[in-house]
Amino acid sequence: MEFSALPEVVLRVFGGFPALALFCTVFVLAFDLMKRRKKCDNYPPGPRALPFLGNLLQVDLHSPHLSFAKLRKKYGDVMSLDFGWTNVVVLSGYKALKEALVKKSEDFAGRPEFPIYKELFQRIGEGIVFVKYGDWWKEQRRFALMTLKNLGVGKKSLELRITEEAGFLNQAFEGEQSRPFDPHFHLTYATANIICLIIFGERFEYCDEKFLTFLRILEESIVLEGGFWGQLTNTFPFVRHLPGPQNKIHENHDKLTGFVEEIITRHKDTWDPDDPRDFIDAFFTQREKMKHSHNTSFPNAKLIGTLLSLFAAGTETTSTTLNWALLFMVLHPDVQSQVHEEIDRVIGNRRKPKLEDREEMPFTNAVIHETQRLGNIVPISLPHETYRDTEVMGYTIPKGTTIFPNITSVLYDEDIWLTPREFNPGHFLNSDGMFVKPEAFIPFSAGHRVCLGEQLAKTELFIFFTSLLQHFTFLLPENEPRPNYREAKFGITLCPLPYRLCVKTR
């Protein structure tokens, strides 16, 4: 080829690139529009979505509940968003949540797929928290509720074990009297030991380094999975293969799985089908009983996912609530003094608190409930998914739509709570000083997916909190900044930022 002909060849080869780029751009935008197209008329309103990103730039993934509050003012209580190509509807206000989660509970009982867990669940199972709604979920949830009851939940026997663990927790706090300390891990140990007694049949000493490592990994995973990186990976699954903190999610789960597998292996060698000691034994017994049945989920059910779900749910929310409670006590010494006075009058300083004392302690009960309300432990709940086409507040929501129940909007509703952004136990007391619980108090969510361990959590919160306040006065350390309860760390749960306190034996 002559040199003089090269420009013409180059132009012919590369001259089509602008046209090709234009074609690709139009094709991709058309594909994006098709993916984003709403599936029905009368779909809830929402902000305009960008190609590929959807509304992600309008939602702070570090604190989505705050973004939802701002968007609600413009788009209302039933609002649509796009997370990438995922259609999302955010439900706000008690009226919308009650209609969806209570009146149409089955319609909203689904659970969307979480790409960050997809490979993991293939190995260990989804557990009863993340599994999709259907016969498998119904059977496993019934079994879990029955087994928890058989193992003492709601009974005096387990209450006594909680009281015993409260004694160990008090000892741990007594050992910290000479210095300021962060109460977080002592509280986590105490609540973790209760669920460990139920599912593993054993508790762990507070100095057990292996168990402490397990708890630290679990906490890190909860922050990663529910926070920015987990949400980003669920929206754009390819992020899973890029460098970044999200890669620790699977690494951490491998470590958590290894810890649980060791316990399961020990159980296999000592399991007695006629005398189940804990949840693992009960599961083995049920699986053996159902192994020849074709209409059951047990032969194919994977125990590890269920155990990790129960452990995380039974530990994190209760310990975080207690962490908030002690923070509110050091920030409000006048409230702490009133709790002390009620404990001294009803229980005294000699005998241990009992759950039945709660009926005679309206102020302490109100303080615990106000902690749950203002602490706002699970601000947007776990995502639901519509099980069938349905309606809420007059809007049509198609089957398979991801639903965010905005619990924050109810717990901070100005039409329900007198001072929604302030710590005020009076929200749960009537004019006679008696305890009252507004219908809109739903920290455990509602409906088919209501928290499995609600009854256990309520018992733990009262026994642990009352026992701690019976024994100690909690103080802010001198010469340290005053903690700001309005700042928090968002993961699956909303935790106070690390703070330190001092204890003084009463």
pLDDT (tens digit, 9 = 90+) per residue, 170-224?
Answer: 999 999 987 999 999 999 999 999 999 999 999 999 999 999 999 999 999 888 8
Q: Would 14 be classed as within a structural domain?
A: no
Q: Would 3 be classed as within a structural domain?
A: no
Q: Would 211 be classed as within a structural domain?
A: yes
Supply 177's token pair.
């009297």
Q: Would 485 be classed as within a structural domain?
A: yes
- The CATH number covering residue 137 comes to 1.10.630.10
Supply 361's token pair.
């302690």
pLDDT at 11 over 50: no
Could you tell me where the beta strands, DSSP code E, fall in 342-444?
384-385, 390-392, 395-397, 402-405
Report the candidate in 406, 409, 331, 407 with the shortest Cα–Cα distance to residue 367: 331
3 state SS of 21: helix
Query: Do 476 and 502 meet the contact criterion of CB atoms below 8 Å apart?
Result: yes
Q: 294-350: per-residue pLDDT in tens?
A: 778 887 778 898 999 999 888 989 999 999 999 999 999 999 999 999 999 999 988
User: What is the domain count for the chain?
Assistant: 1
Query: Do 102 and 447 meet the contact criterion of CB atoms below 8 Å apart?
Result: yes
The pLDDT value recorded for residue 154 is 86
What are the CA-CA distances from residue 272 to residues 150, 227, 278 (Å)? 16, 42, 11
Longest CA span, the chain:
105
Report the candidate in 92, 65, 76, 91 with the shortest Cα–Cα distance to residue 410: 92
The pLDDT value recorded for residue 21 is 54
Q: 230-266: per-residue pLDDT in tens?
A: 888 888 888 888 888 888 888 888 999 999 999 999 9
Residue 203, domain extent: 38-505
Average of pLDDT values for 378-397?
95
Residue 27's pLDDT band, with cuts at 50, 70 and 90, is very low
The pLDDT value recorded for residue 111 is 94
Q: Would 10 be classed as within a structural domain?
A: no
Q: Would 114 be classed as within a structural domain?
A: yes
For residues 56 and 301, which has the higher predicted lDDT (pLDDT)?
56
Q: 267-285: per-residue pLDDT in tens?
A: 988 988 888 999 999 999 9
Average of pLDDT values for 470-477?
96
Query: Do 321 and 377 meet the contact criterion of CB atoms below 8 Å apart?
Result: yes
Supply 259's token pair.
């810890």
Mean pLDDT of the chain: 89
Q: Which residue has the tokens 């928090």?
A: 488
Average of pLDDT values for 80-109?
95
Q: Would 335 be classed as within a structural domain?
A: yes
Q: Would 31 be classed as within a structural domain?
A: no
For residues 95 and 246, which has the higher predicted lDDT (pLDDT)?
95
Query: Alpha carbon 408 to chain centroid distance?
Result: 13
Return the bridge partners of 90, or none. 79, 404
Exposure of 263 by Cβ count < 10 A (0-12 exposed, 13-18 middle, 19+ buried)? middle
Give percent above pLDDT 70 in the chain. Answer: 92
The pLDDT value recorded for residue 497 is 94
- The model carries a pTM of 0.90
Average of pLDDT values for 65-94?
95
